[in-house]
Structure 1
Amino acid sequence: MSTYDDVAEFAALLTRLKGRTDRSYGSLARRLGMNTSTLHRYCSGDTVPLDFAPVERFAALCGASPEERVELHRRWILAVAARQRARTPAGPETSAEPETSVEPGRSVEAETSVEPDRSAEAGTSAEACTPDTGDAPAEHAVPDVSAPAGRPAARRPWYRHRRIAVTTAVAGTLLATLGTLGSLSALSTDRSPSEAPSTRSPSPAKVSPAPITWTANSQAWSLGCGHDYVIAKAPDQVPPPPTAQDAAPWAASQHAVHGGDTNVEISVQGRTSTAVVLEALRVRVVGRSDPAEGTAYSMDQGCGGSITPRYFSVDLDKDRPIARSAPGSDAGTPIPAVRFPYRVSAQDPEVLLVTARTVTCDCRWYLELDWSSQGRTGTVRIDDAGRPFRTSGIKGLPRYWYSTREWVLRTD
């Protein structure tokens, strides 16, 4: 199916759902906490949301049935894959570091290899996001991975991003498409990253390959519309800001560096139906220097809304940065923070959002995700297509935003 058809079918289903209500785009947008123009672009096929959460809320507001929500999720995945496929030819790098390139044809699935402890690297710091040992509500508890096969799974809330397929056909379609996203998107990690040794107490030997796969999108914007880049160019040499979905090629073409913060969306999924427990998420800083020189350019395009996703907050200015789990909110309704340990499988993926911030440095960093399954343990390195993520402070830099077809100096 063509790129246009996949996007058009997703937009058509959104439009049909909207048609069931007597509300205008403006009225629906206010209920959803987004701009009217943004909702209209989704329904017209001009753009596809990178996050499914607003789509799911839209479906609920329009009274979609469970079957329709599953179909909407399937079409959303196909539409995102189609948009990525349309701009994949050269697979541009998303960082200004020219010395590293991604080898073609590498798998996104993580592989395990025994290698020296990475903690000896210069400037490296690591700390685990330790499991919460407090009493958690039953609906947030980690399911018993030793439960006999066939036991009904506990009902999970929508905000945990877990999708359970209704039929084998739908499950197969979603998994195949997720694989397509990993291989086609320039934002994904199209390689097999090495796994660092586990830093926990001696346990059963690690094995290869790892039982989980992952992709990382380092070009996620705050609420889908706000972000800063540092670019060493004058305003008249910088093109207009892109849509959030086209951020990767735009940033690569401008040799842009993330300014102030980097938002990384990590999709983690088991290879089989066997449960894999995610034990902890750690941060490793492998380089620090003075903030990058240049000008800060804001991508803000009328951000606003009442949805704050849950995420892991990282302060890169700390000597030992820690990935701290933070709760979110949905129109005033709390969204509990992610609690480790956390279970995933082929039918039970998870999306983790990490927001790393700095004021004082040009930092290079990556993440390590510990896993365990059936007596095996391992650690997956999560990075930016084989290289560290890069975030630079913007304090003191001139800062511009785009207004009336030109970059205008911000005074706030």
Structure 2
Amino acid sequence: MSEARDDDVQEFAALLRRLKERTDRSYGQLARRLNMNTSTLHRYCAGDAVPLDFAPVERFAALCGATPEERLELHRLWILAVAARQRSRTAAAEAKGAAVTPPSDPAPEPVRDPASSEPARRPWYRSRRLLVSAAVTTALLATLGSLSALPDDRTKGSDSVEAADPPRTTEPQSPRPKSSKSPSPSPSTPSPSAGGSRKPSAKASGDTDRPSNKAGKPQPSTGVPLTWSSDSHVWQAGCGHDYVIDKPPQQVPPPPNPQDAATWAATMGAVHGKQTLVRITVQGKSSTAVVLEALRVRVVGRSAPMAGTNYAMDNGCGGALTPRYFDVDLDKDRPVARPADGNDSGVTIPAMRLPYRVSAEDPEVLLIDARTVACDCSWYLELDWSSQGRTGTVRVDDHGRPFRTTGNKGLKNYAYDTSARAWVPWEE
């Protein structure tokens, strides 16, 4: 049984290694592009660990140029590998607590008599494995079906904030034919919008990339050609971060794991103290290149630092890897995102300087390091892009809300003492 579980993990790791070997990049180079620790990526490819989230695996596959069939197979193997690791941990816990009693209803596999024509019954554990495989296949097909139904644009929850400042798109204009009659909107004769960009009719809005039947030429693409996602709860070196909370230590639970920080902070009404690290993943919607031209900072709210208590998620930590990032000083009247070098065990990681090109096969991760001492600042980012003669700007924020960072100078500082299981005062 354990060998079968190990096989699931090793098959998943073997496919990761095959994808990695087709590139000319080392583990360190791939890890930096994925904003991941080098040792973590190596453990995934060696079968020593299995990621609990498929998102980094999907980014890895895109970076290595995996085909749709390979991505499908990678997703299937990842589900089996995660299930195998969970079963292994459960079995280990049961073996440690008490002896596991074998089930009474399934009978052991009988020995087949060579003289008998009756086949031996399938052992119970093989039947269970077939059921698990069938369940995994069903879940995988359901996942693929739901992904195909997802819209390209962001949800209405974020549109409520972006309505006052929507993404801007500028397209090349073409002369309209002269006619005595006003042409009605149709897929071949788009009407200009108030902003000057051409917008297809409702009939053609979902089919903008198909060639026109009349002209025999492809219609110009419309809409934003890239997608992005943001995570503002990134901790320095994976362990260091400060939150300002207007609650006494007795009402604040222990620090969460980094992956649970967003939920923990929302529950506590916590605000980033002194520093906000934002990880932005940008990817094109197709193989057509999209050039990231510029990154700007917009401060939409500025007041005195928030009152409360500063809670440190660690009592000092560090790491050998500091990824390259964009440095932002929110205390300046006009903050600017400045490229900064990273460091990998003493080796300088050159700063990322825009313009930079992305596509569906070549995503990019941007890390923004925004700091303040003297304000409680609400801010967001604007990312300028260009592709095939079109230009535009997308607003990057915290799921429809501005990012928020407050100074924490002069506040009471607390760190969590694991031995006492309590928050204790400490001097920074």
Q: TM-score range by the shorter chain?
A: 0.5 to 0.7
2:269 corresponding residue in structure 1:
255
Q: Is the 8 A contact 1:287 1:364 kept in 2?
A: yes
1:165 corresponding residue in structure 2:
65
Distance in 1 between residues matched to 2:169 and 2:242, nearest whole Å: 35
Deviation at 1:191, TM superposition (A): 3.9
Q: Which of the two has higher C-alpha Rg?
A: 2
1:269 aligns with 2:245: no
2:231 corresponding residue in structure 1:
217
1:385 corresponding residue in structure 2:
399
Could you report, residue by residue, the CA deviation over 1:179-216 in whole angstroms, capped at 9, with x for unpaired residues? 97xx9xxxx9974556657699x977667420001110
Partner of 1:248, secondary structure, is: helix
2:133 corresponding residue in structure 1:
none
Distance in 1 between residues matched to 2:311 and 2:379, nearest whole Å: 22
Residues 123-142 of structure 1 aligned to structure 2 (within 5 Å): none
1:364 corresponding residue in structure 2:
378
Deviation at 1:57, TM superposition (A): 3.5
Partner of 1:246, secondary structure, is: helix
Letter of the aligned partner of 2:274 in structure 1?
G
% identical equivalent positions: 52
Residues 54-133 of structure 1 aligned to structure 2 (within 5 Å): 54-60=36-42, 68=45, 77-78=53-54
Deviation at 1:324, TM superposition (A): 0.4
Partner of 1:284, secondary structure, is: strand
Letter of the aligned partner of 2:225 in structure 1?
P
Contiguous gaps of at least 5 residues in structure 1 = 1-7, 18-31, 33-48, 82-157
Question: How many corresponding residue pairs?
Answer: 285
Distance in 2 between residues matched to 1:162 and 1:79, nearest whole Å: 11
Deviation at 1:409, TM superposition (A): 0.7
Distance in 2 between residues matched to 1:13 and 1:168, nearest whole Å: 21
Letter of the aligned partner of 1:259 in structure 2?
G
Distance in 1 between residues matched to 2:11 and 2:267, nearest whole Å: 33
1:354 aligns with 2:368: yes
Alpha-carbon distance change, 363 to 297 in structure 1, aligned in 2, over 3 angstroms: same
Partner of 2:266, secondary structure, is: helix
Partner of 2:288, secondary structure, is: coil
Could you report, residue by residue, the CA deviation over 1:240-295 in whole angstroms, capped at 9, with x for unpaired residues? 00010000110011000111011110010000010000000000000100000000
Partner of 1:216, secondary structure, is: strand
2:22 corresponding residue in structure 1:
none
Letter of the aligned partner of 1:163 in structure 2?
L
Letter of the aligned partner of 2:63 in structure 1?
R
Alpha-carbon distance change, 75 to 234 in structure 1, aligned in 2, over 3 angstroms: closer
284, 293, 297: which is aligned to 1:279?
293
Distance in 2 between residues matched to 1:288 and 1:301, nearest whole Å: 29
Distance in 2 between residues matched to 1:11 and 1:264, nearest whole Å: 35
Alpha-carbon distance change, 305 to 292 in structure 1, aligned in 2, over 3 angstroms: same
Q: Is the 8 A contact 2:244 2:311 kept in 1?
A: yes
Letter of the aligned partner of 2:68 in structure 1?
T
Alpha-carbon distance change, 295 to 11 in structure 1, aligned in 2, over 3 angstroms: farther
Q: Is the 8 A contact 1:10 1:72 kept in 2?
A: no
Alpha-carbon distance change, 203 to 362 in structure 1, aligned in 2, over 3 angstroms: farther
379, 389, 408: which is aligned to 2:424?
408
Letter of the aligned partner of 2:314 in structure 1?
D
Distance in 1 between residues matched to 2:249 and 2:168, nearest whole Å: 47
Distance in 2 between residues matched to 1:10 and 1:77, nearest whole Å: 20
Deviation at 1:10, TM superposition (A): 13
1:240 corresponding residue in structure 2:
254
Deviation at 1:12, TM superposition (A): 5.3
Deviation at 1:313, TM superposition (A): 0.6
1:399 aligns with 2:407: no
What TM-score results when the alignment is normalised by the length of structure 1? 0.60
Residues 324-343 of structure 1 aligned to structure 2 (within 5 Å): 324-343=338-357
Q: Is the 8 A contact 1:312 1:354 kept in 2?
A: yes
284, 291, 311: which is aligned to 2:325?
311
Distance in 2 between residues matched to 1:10 and 1:56, nearest whole Å: 24
Letter of the aligned partner of 1:368 in structure 2?
E
Distance in 2 between residues matched to 1:343 and 1:163, nearest whole Å: 13
1:94 corresponding residue in structure 2:
none
Contiguous gaps of at least 5 residues in structure 2 = 15-26, 76-142, 174-195, 199-221
1:231 corresponding residue in structure 2:
245
1:293 aligns with 2:324: no
